């Protein structure tokens, strides 16, 4: 499986919120690194017109004009953020579009031809400290391409450019795509990749001391380390410039990924892991990571053919 290149490049949903601004900045820089187009999209929910003439018609027309004016301001501000985030010569690759449609269906439709879809974790109408807003939740569950979720805290807690990229690996199809994305991102950033494989979902076994575990468990760990090396070998050959730090644990994956994310600049996970099934929405690990991590999270999504 390879990281698919699509015509539309990177699409980012904008609504003027702090998380949206952070998303635009990150998306612009990532698009320039990939040398793919960046499209800024703002959506205006359509209004059902009144059935009869009168004051209601005038009120609707006035409200629609306010929507249009606000949309123009949001797009102009987003374009300014994007232009400041990229090199001057790359600015022509940034475009914008305002759609008269609900945001989630509009972004999901655009995701069919995008490499990445980037959204803020919470929009203008989100309650403070909420986990995911309705838009970010909708797209991570239904988009047809990998989704990047940005928290507004990411700007204030920006990691060093030398911080690693973290990826969770479990052998599922979405994990394979996550690995492809993670190697690509680490290579473009010139940083190390931390590949974490949790070979048990039961949590720590709590043996009295390191190395005490029964021989059967130590054998399993050795086998899982070999499996991880095999899963990474092809990608390491393709990206010889990327140093890989392998971590194999007998533990639940989400806490360990979040632990590694504290020192990382980006974390990549599959939308659902080895216990998932085609067509399911979002697995427990990806849900925990995207809700809790305060750095950009890429959720790799794979759709069955046909």
| Domain contains 306 | no
Domain boundary among 89, 117, 150: 150
Q: What is the mean pLDDT of residues 4-31?
A: 88
Check pLDDT > 70 for residue 274. Answer: no
Which of 115, 150, 185 is at the close of a domain? 150
Residue 172 lies inside a defined structural domain of this protein? yes
pLDDT tens digits for range 194-238: 999 886 654 444 444 455 555 455 666 677 778 788 889 999 999
Same domain, 127 and 33: yes
* 72, pLDDT greater than 90: yes
What is the distance, to the nearest Å, from the Cα of residue 148 to the centroid of all Cα atoms in its chain?
2
278-301 average pLDDT score: 79
Quick check: 249 pLDDT over 60?
Answer: yes
Q: Identify the weakest region by mean pLDDT among 69-78, 247-256, 262-271, 272-281.
A: 272-281
Rounded to an integer, the average pLDDT of 150-175 is 79
Whether 93 is in a domain gets the answer: yes
155 domain-assigned: no
Residue 4 has pLDDT above 60, yes or no: no
Q: Is the pLDDT reported for residue 55 higher than 50?
A: yes
User: Whose CA is closest to 298, among 185, 192, 187?
Assistant: 185
Task: Note whether 24 and 141 are same-domain residues.
Answer: yes
Residues 94 and 62 in one domain: yes
**Do 203 and 145 fall into the same domain?**
no
Domain boundary (150, 175, 201) is at 150
pLDDT given at position 80? 95
Q: Rounded mean pLDDT of 75-80?
A: 96
Residue 124 reports pLDDT greater than 70 = no
- Pair 61, 120 in one domain: yes
If one compares 134 and 306, the residue with the highest pLDDT of the two is 134
- Residue 88 or 50, more confident: 88
Q: Are residues 178 and 104 in the same domain?
A: no
Spatial neighbors of 210 by CB under 8 A, at least 6 apart, are none
pLDDT at 6: 61
Contacts of 174 (CB under 8 A, 6+ apart): 270, 271, 272, 273, 276, 300, 301, 302
pLDDT of residue 218: 60
Domain count of the chain? 2
Is 143 found in the same domain as 21? yes
Pair (74, 204) in one structural domain: no
In a shared domain, residues 178 and 142? no
Rg over alpha carbons for the chain, rounded to the nearest Å, is 21
* 77-to-12, 41, 102, 103, 221 alpha-carbon distances in Å: 14, 12, 21, 18, 51
**Residue 2 counted as domain residue:** no
Is pLDDT at 297 greater than 80 in this prediction? yes
Task: Give the per-residue pLDDT at 223.
Answer: 72
CB of 25 within 8 A of CB of 81?
Answer: yes
Q: pLDDT over 90 for what percent of the chain?
A: 45
Q: When comparing pLDDT for 82 and 123, which is higher?
A: 82
Residue 131 has what pLDDT?
46
Question: Is residue 221 located within the same domain as residue 95?
Answer: no
156 found inside a domain? no
178 and 256 belong to one structural domain: yes
Q: What is the pLDDT of residue 272?
A: 59
Q: pLDDT class for 258, splitting at 50, 70, 90? A: very high
Confirm if 289 and 295 have CB atoms less than 8 A apart. no
Are both 139 and 210 inside the same structural domain? no
Task: State yes or no: pLDDT of 71 exceeds 60.
Answer: yes
Of 92-96, 127-131, 265-269, least confident by mean pLDDT is 127-131
Q: How far apart are the C-alpha atoms of 273 and 174, rounded to whole Å?
A: 7
- Of 32-36, 52-56, 79-83, the least confident: 52-56
Q: What was the pLDDT predicted at 171?
A: 75
- pLDDT grade, residue 278 (50/70/90)? very low
CA distance 123 to 203: 34
Is 283 a domain residue? yes
Is 109 within a domain? Answer: yes
Range of the domain at 115: 10-150
Task: List Cβ neighbours of 306 (8 Å cut-off, separation of 6 or more).
Answer: none
The CATH number for 288's domain is: 3.40.50.12370
Average pLDDT over residues 143-152: 89
């Amino acid at each position: 499986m390879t990281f698919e290149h699509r015509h539309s490049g990177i699409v980012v949903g904008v609504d003027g919120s702090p998380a949206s601004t952070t998303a635009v900045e990150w998306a612009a820089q990532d698009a320039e690194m990939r040398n793919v187009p960046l499209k800024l999209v703002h959506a205006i929910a359509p209004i059902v017109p009144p059935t009869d003439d009168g004051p209601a018609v005038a009120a609707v027309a006035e409200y629609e004009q306010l929507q249009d004016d606000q949309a123009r301001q949001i797009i102009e501000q987003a374009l300014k953020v994007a232009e400041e985030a990229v090199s001057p010569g790359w600015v022509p690759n940034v475009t914008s579009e305002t759609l008269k449609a609900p945001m989630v269906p509009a972004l999901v439709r655009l995701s069919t031809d995008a490499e990445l879809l980037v959204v803020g974790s919470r929009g203008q109408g989100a309650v403070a400290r909420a986990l995911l807003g309705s838009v970010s939740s909708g797209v991570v569950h239904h988009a047809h391409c990998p989704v990047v979720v940005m928290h507004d805290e990411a700007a204030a807690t920006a990691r060093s450019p030398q911080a690693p990229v973290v990826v969770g690996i479990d052998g599922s199809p979405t994990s394979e795509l996550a690995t492809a994305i993670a190697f690509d991102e680490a290579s473009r950033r010139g940083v190390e990749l931390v590949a974490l494989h949790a070979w048990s979902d039961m949590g720590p076994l709590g043996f009295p001391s390191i190395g005490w575990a029964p021989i059967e468990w130590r054998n399993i760990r050795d086998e899982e380390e070999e499996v991880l090396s095999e899963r990474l070998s092809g990608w390491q050959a393709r990206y010889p410039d990327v140093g890989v730090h392998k971590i194999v644990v007998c533990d639940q994956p989400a806490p360990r990924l979040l632990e590694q994310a504290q020192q990382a600049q980006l974390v990549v996970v599959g939308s659902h892991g080895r216990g998932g099934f085609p067509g399911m929405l979002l697995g427990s690990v990806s849900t925990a990571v995207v809700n809790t991590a305060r750095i950009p999270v890429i959720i790799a999504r794979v759709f069955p053919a046909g």
